[in-house]
Chains A and B, each alone.
Chain A
Amino acid sequence: MSEETKPMTLEEKLGLLSYKNDHQSHIKVLDAEVCLGCANKPCVTGCPAGVYTWDAAQSKIIVSYENCIECGAARMLCPYNNIEWHPPRGGFGVSYKYG
């Protein structure tokens, strides 16, 4: 009777947000070697905006800083302190409408 609309994907949810992206990233994975030794890669699953993805071909973490919603989890998600995260420069990054 009531139509079940397909749940939104993460990309669609991020698409609802307003971002002002800087030309420079505010996030850096410090040492790619360290990621090779990381078994469960909590940054890939724990980031609520999917900023970190594991590229098997390149054997490294790809950082999509433009998706970052600045929750702050990244610094602590990495068990090896291998993510350097600062807030974006003033006025850049995500701007919530509801919050």
Chain B
Amino acid sequence: MPDDKFDSIIVGAGPAGVAAAITMARAGLNVALLERGEYAGAKNVQGAVLYSKMLEEIVPEFWKEAPLERAIVEERLWIMTKDSAVLTGYKSAKYDTQPANCYTIIRVEFDKWFAKKAEEAGVSLLTGVTVDDVLKKNGAVVGVKSTEGDQLFADVVIACDGVNSILAQKTGLHREWKSYEVALGVKEILALPREKIQDRFALEGDQGSTTEMLGDVTKGMMGYAFLYTNKETLSLGVGCALDDFQRTNIKPYDLLEEIKRHPLIRPLIAGSKSVEYSAHLIPEGGYNSMPPLYTDGMLLAGDAAQMINPTHREGSNLAMASGRMAGETVIEAKKRKSFTARSLGLYRKKLEDSFVLKDMEDHKDIEDKVRKNREILTVYPALACEAAHEYFLVDGMPKRDHQRRIIRRIRRERGIFRMIKDAMSLRHAIG
């Protein structure tokens, strides 16, 4: 084995790793893709929503062959209290196209297919291999070492080993994440007959809907719950900042069970059968937590580099795009025969010119603002529900009195001045 040298070794056969692998293999590079699971996807957990555009850039017309669940035509946001919700969202027949804007997927099925595309492109996929360290020569990364002691060498290592990445730490690019830089998500796959899903969510054929839920469902913790429709299953889960779980001692699985019993969620999942329970960390630190993205002989992509945009529920597409750009960078570096940090710096430039870093930078302060004003997560949902409740209640009281009640309530709970301050502070955080 020691004489083997690849053009590039990618650690992690998830969306970032496979995207990088396919990109380089197509340019004729000799690529090894290492995966610690028994098969690609074995260790991965996601909501899961797949965004077409970024996949199309790697596998054109993917919709003809990729294992997709439902084409999302409806995106819902529910602002909830323990028994009520203000339901908002957008549904459009215009999203029912080929390809659709986004699809729900079953992560393991998708990863298996995606990794197979990499093999078809000539990538050497090695599963059941856990990398636990990088190999260095004169300060530059020159390969990786597995837990079994095997050594593999390459011009560039691309670390796509996810939120629990150890490679970036081994190279000194960053220390461990702090508990406020990650969220813990737990999830269940609930089996439900196709017709029931279509009826309950008013879907035709393979159309699908997503629902994100804010408010009491997370018991004052920062985070949200989600409910996505797959062909014959539902994905129901909740994710909260890990430091909130630390602080409150709320058990993640208890929280999920309580969500299942919520009067507005219960009827949607009635009669379903749990077929899988899973959990994973999600990077939440955003732009401010991003480690340096490259060093001599190594690049970081995807979750390993904190590339998540939680405000927009995006991550796997940032992973695919950054993986592709990492692959393109290595192709260029190979032409120059230079794999130093200076040469690999092209990676950062590509990311900066793309939506990846632009979006991450634009959203870098939101979480912090919400953290500092946690009441936003509890006070506003309660106010919104009470205002709506009062508005629709017909009890003989004149409308003007209903309105006065709402205004008085708002004044007491938050105050108009503070509400304006909240809106301004969030506006700065987004723009």
A67–B306 Cα distance when bound, in Å, is 27
CB-CB under 8 A from A77, the residues of chain B are 179, 242, 245-246
Q: How far is the CA of A65 from the CA of B34 in the complex (A)?
A: 24
Q: Is B147 an interface residue (CB 8 A)?
A: yes
- Residues B358-414 near A (CB distance < 8 A): none
Instruction: Give the distance to chain A from B11, nearest Cβ to Cβ, in Å.
Output: 11
What is the chain A residue whose CB lies nearest that of B39? A95
A window 55-85: CB within 8 A of B:
69-73, 75-77, 79
Determine which residue in A93, A95, A99 has the highest number of CB atoms from chain B within 10 A of its CB, and name it.
A99
Whether A96 contacts B278 by the Cβ 8 Å rule is yes
Q: Indicate if the CB atoms of A46 and B130 lie closer than 8 Å.
A: no
Chain A residue nearest to B163 (CB atoms) is: A72
Interface size class of A (residues with CB under 8 A): 35 or more
Closest to A13 in B: B277
Q: Check if B186 sits within 8 Å of A48, measured CB to CB.
A: yes
A37 at interface, CB cutoff 8 A:
no
Assuming the contacts A13-B274, A90-B130, A90-B148, asked whether A95 and B38 have C-beta atoms less than 8 A apart, the reply is yes
Given A2-B271, A42-B246, A86-B132, verify A95-B276 contact (CB < 8 Å).
no
Encoded as 1 (CB less than 8 Å from any B CB) or 0, chain A from 2 to 13 comes to: 100001101001
Contact B249 A40 (CB under 8 A): yes
**CB pairs A–B below 8 angstroms (21 shown):** A13-B188, A16-B274, A16-B277, A17-B277, A20-B38, A42-B246, A42-B247, A42-B249, A45-B245, A46-B242, A73-B281, A76-B177, A87-B130, A90-B147, A91-B36, A93-B43, A95-B37, A98-B107, A98-B233, A99-B45, A99-B111
Which chain A residues border B132 with CB–CB below 8 Å? 86
**Once the chains bind, are B128 and A71 in contact (CB under 8 Å)?**
no
For the complex, give the distance between the alpha carbons of A76 and B284 in Å.
14
State which residues 280-313 of B face A: CB under 8 Å.
Answer: 280-281
Give 8 nearest A-B pairs by CB, closest first: A91-B128, A99-B107, A48-B279, A13-B277, A72-B164, A99-B108, A90-B130, A42-B246
The answer to the question of B44 belonging to the interface, with a C-beta cut-off of 8 Å to chain A, is yes
Q: Is the CB of A99 within 8 A of B128?
A: no
Chain A residues with CB below 8 A from B65, complex form: none
| Residues of chain B with a CB closer than 8 A to A86's CB | 132, 166
Q: How many angstroms from the CA of A35 to the CA of B341 in the assembled complex?
A: 42
The reply on B137 being an interface residue by CB < 8 A is no
CA distance A15 to B278 in the complex (A): 12
